[in-house]
Chains A and B, each alone.
Chain A
């Protein structure tokens, strides 16, 4: 039962410390801007002065695929960066400040302490991504055509899993580190490591980066599946959280 009491406090903290607002604002901004950018980019290119004759005609007219592509590109950059930034200090800060020691002498287990932080960050990203997706879908409808709801939802669900992978890996780094500086360094190393391994042929098929491609294809009505990447990502979340717990339970706070 204490899990939900602590989770409630964590979500309230996300709101009161404006983390939820910041994540939502950034993701909604890019959600709205993505179809808009896709729509105006060809016009912007055509308006470049002294463009060689005929080149402007080669620039293709914007399509629904451009809008979805732009959305995926923005989210894969800024969403992941936000996931790392918002998670990197959550455990270290409490260890440094002394609130972890204060709370762990009350009936809060170390597992609950970690899992509620993950769940609260998951809630923040889920709510923010939902708002961003809604904005993107509406602007795409206005500027292009309606995106199929179900598959667009699937794209966003897969994106959320990617964000959660980075939240979990960063949470592990935060549990591992003693200071916030070390936590930041480890977190960015984790980001580079996951993204780097994800770009290695064969091994990369099991990494979260592939979920963007799968989701993009689905959102545009294509047939695709990449279950290894999904299971790999979920596995990475479980492994990171388990490792965070194993590290944290043996730490003196």
Chain B
């Protein structure tokens, strides 16, 4: 559905994209992750036709971006990081206007506008001027605007960054609900959100794709298991940590006060040996837990590795 091949984008001496290649298959919710300045927004702007690549090829919904930008707009919905509107319009008028542009009939527009305002929880504000909207309300309206014409591909740039926790949950639920209905490419720096709704993840750094993979495969492949233990005596915990560092099945040990965090090379062995080791040291543990590695751990690991290159 989205195909990007060796995309370069240079702004003078700055290489915003440096040979980016990615594939987004139909029906997936693709989480596009990367640190600030990695090239996420530039990629999305190129995919919408708002920016042009210096070199490389990209196609969205089968449309080559170098050929027909006009046709592209019928197939995509785009939510920029800070959506902008005409302040003198009301949300109802704005969505109706977009409906007209996309060729919806009067009856279709009336129904679609009502449906979308209900969906993004703006029905009560439907007749208020957009000029008085908060950032969160504008973000939700932007989401509705991107959906007016039921696009095949939805490009979302930090879609929940301006929302409060309840608004964030609502929008994430909406995105999750779009799975299989349309293809979603969502950039975000909030890893927990990506982890929650995206079934495929691509990590970009310095304008290059570091890794792209189904989320579960990515976690299996890159996430190193982590064990965490809180003890009573910080000194005893420090001694234990020093002992653990010498074990072959331990990848890394971090100590913070009376908490020891162990990253294992061999999770099965670690499960057996850690408790035995703690018992041998006669440690009193308040808490012992095998933590599920988060996408954040994977992200940091991969991005830090890329930064070292």
- Chain A residues, CB < 8 A from B142: 102
Could you tell me if B84 and A9 are in contact, using CB atoms closer than 8 angstroms? Answer: no
Could you tell me if A252 and B73 are in contact, using CB atoms closer than 8 angstroms? Answer: no
Known A5-B97, A9-B97; judge A106-B73 contact (CB<8 A). yes
CB closest residue in chain B, given A253: B50
Known contacts A99-B84, A102-B80; 13 further A-B pairs (Cβ under 8 A): A5-B97, A5-B100, A5-B101, A9-B86, A16-B88, A98-B82, A101-B84, A102-B83, A102-B84, A102-B145, A105-B48, A106-B73, A106-B101
Could you tell me if A99 and B74 are in contact, using CB atoms closer than 8 angstroms? Answer: no
Does A97 reach chain B (CB closer than 8 Å)?
yes
The proximity string for B residues 42-60 relative to A, scoring 1 for CB distances below 8 Å and 0 otherwise, is: 0001001111100000000
- Chain A residues, CB < 8 A from B222: none
- Chain A residues, CB < 8 A from B244: none
A113 CB, nearest partner CB in chain B, Å: 12
Q: Give the contacts of A1-40 with B (CB-CB under 8 A).
A: 2, 5-6, 9, 13, 16-17
The proximity string for A residues 103-126 relative to B, scoring 1 for CB distances below 8 Å and 0 otherwise, is: 011111100000000000000000
* Chain B residues close to A by CB (< 8 Å): 45, 48-52, 70, 73-74, 76, 78, 80, 82-86, 88, 97-98, 100-102, 142, 145
Secondary structure dominating the interface of A: helix
B82 CB, nearest partner CB in chain A, Å: 6
A204 vs B158: C-alpha distance when bound (angstroms): 54
CB closest residue in chain A, given B42: A252
Known A13-B88, A16-B88, A252-B45; judge A105-B50 contact (CB<8 A). yes
The proximity string for A residues 127-156 relative to B, scoring 1 for CB distances below 8 Å and 0 otherwise, is: 000000000000000000000000000000
Contact sample, A vs B, 28 pairs, CB 8 Å cutoff: A2-B101, A5-B97, A6-B101, A16-B88, A97-B84, A98-B83, A99-B85, A101-B45, A101-B50, A101-B80, A101-B84, A102-B83, A102-B84, A102-B145, A104-B49, A104-B73, A105-B48, A105-B50, A105-B76, A106-B73, A106-B98, A107-B73, A107-B74, A107-B102, A108-B73, A108-B101, A252-B45, A252-B52
CB closest residue in chain A, given B46: A252
A5 vs B100: C-alpha distance when bound (angstroms): 7
- A104 touches which one: B50, B52, B145 (CB < 8 A)? B50
Which 8 residue pairs are nearest across A and B when measured between Cβ atoms? A98-B84, A105-B78, A16-B88, A252-B51, A99-B84, A5-B100, A107-B73, A105-B48
- Chain A residues, CB < 8 A from B84: 97-99, 101-102
A108 vs B72: C-alpha distance when bound (angstroms): 11
A13 vs B86: C-alpha distance when bound (angstroms): 9
Q: Interface residues of A, CB < 8 Å — how many?
A: 20
* Chain A residues close to B by CB (< 8 Å): 2, 5-6, 9, 13, 16-17, 97-99, 101-102, 104-109, 252-253
- Chain B residues, CB < 8 A from A6: 101
Known A17-B88, A252-B52, A253-B50; judge A109-B70 contact (CB<8 A). yes
A106 vs B88: C-alpha distance when bound (angstroms): 19
A20 vs B181: C-alpha distance when bound (angstroms): 44
A104 vs B78: C-alpha distance when bound (angstroms): 10
A239 vs B49: C-alpha distance when bound (angstroms): 26
A102 vs B148: C-alpha distance when bound (angstroms): 13
B210 CB, nearest partner CB in chain A, Å: 26
- Chain B residues, CB < 8 A from A5: 97, 100-101
Known A98-B82, A99-B84, A252-B52; judge A105-B100 contact (CB<8 A). no
Could you tell me if A107 and B70 are in contact, using CB atoms closer than 8 angstroms? Answer: yes
CB closest residue in chain B, given A1: B103
Could you tell me if B101 and A98 are in contact, using CB atoms closer than 8 angstroms? Answer: no
A17 vs B86: C-alpha distance when bound (angstroms): 10
A99 vs B82: C-alpha distance when bound (angstroms): 10
- Chain B residues, CB < 8 A from A101: 45, 50, 80, 84
